[in-house]
């Protein structure tokens, strides 16, 4: 049996045959990249900004906290005459217990609504999830390459009483 090439047609990043297992691998990769960017995935802050010498300020905003998950936004802010524009504006759900991170929404693209009823819808769902989460993985790589991170930045901490209530 011939050896499979790393970037061959069955590769999760290049091949057309995308499977659920490949998507879960991508979620795991996104978690590891986010963990490098945000070592404290408990997010002891509601909003923080990472500054880089070679890139725009990166904003992370905590949307929702629960015992096993955290939902956050990761974005650049552009101030324009028409107002504030966020791009890319990733909404990410981090499952700390499963160690996966899923891009739920990006910029102004409407989220695909899952429907029961057969393989075409499942294929559309996988394709949509694949492209959004692959973009997240590539952007996280880019951010880390440019020195972004939230490990040692000045950021507002939640007070102890607020932290206990969450």
Residue-wise pLDDT for 80-101, tens only, equals 888 877 788 899 999 999 999 9
- Residue 81 domain-assigned? yes
Distance from chain centroid for Cα 122: 21
- Residue 64 domain-assigned? yes
Q: Which of 138, 98, 93 is nearest to 111 (CA)?
A: 93
- Residue 90 domain-assigned? yes
Contact 88, 135 (CB under 8 A): yes
Residue with tokens 């990043």: 13
- Residue 12 domain-assigned? no
Please give the model's pTM, rounded to 2 decimal places: 0.67
- Residue 15 domain-assigned? no
- Within 10 A of 133 (CB to CB), how many other CB atoms are there? 22
How many structural domains comprise the chain? 1
Residue-wise pLDDT for 117-161, tens only, equals 445 666 676 777 888 888 899 999 999 999 998 876 655 555 544
- Is the four-CA dihedral 75, 76, 77, 81 of positive or negative sign? negative
């Amino acid at each position: 049996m011939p050896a499979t090439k790393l970037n061959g047609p069955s590769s999760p990043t290049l091949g057309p045959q995308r499977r659920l297992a490949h998507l879960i691998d991508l979620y795991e990769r996104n978690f590891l990249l986010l963990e490098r960017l945000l070592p404290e995935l408990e997010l002891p802050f509601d909003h923080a900004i990472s500054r880089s010498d070679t890139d725009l300020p990166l904003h992370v905003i905590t949307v929702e906290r629960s015992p096993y998950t955290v939902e956050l936004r990761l974005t650049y802010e552009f101030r324009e005459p028409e107002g504030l524009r966020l791009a890319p504006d990733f909404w990410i759900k981090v499952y700390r217990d499963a160690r996966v991170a899923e891009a739920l929404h990006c910029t102004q693209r409407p989220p695909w609504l899952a429907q029961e009823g057969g393989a075409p819808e499942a294929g559309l769902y996988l394709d949509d999830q694949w492209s959004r989460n692959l973009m997240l993985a590539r952007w996280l790589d880019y951010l880390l390459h440019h020195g972004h991170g939230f490990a040692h930045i000045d950021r507002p901490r939640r007070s102890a009483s607020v932290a206990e209530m969450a």
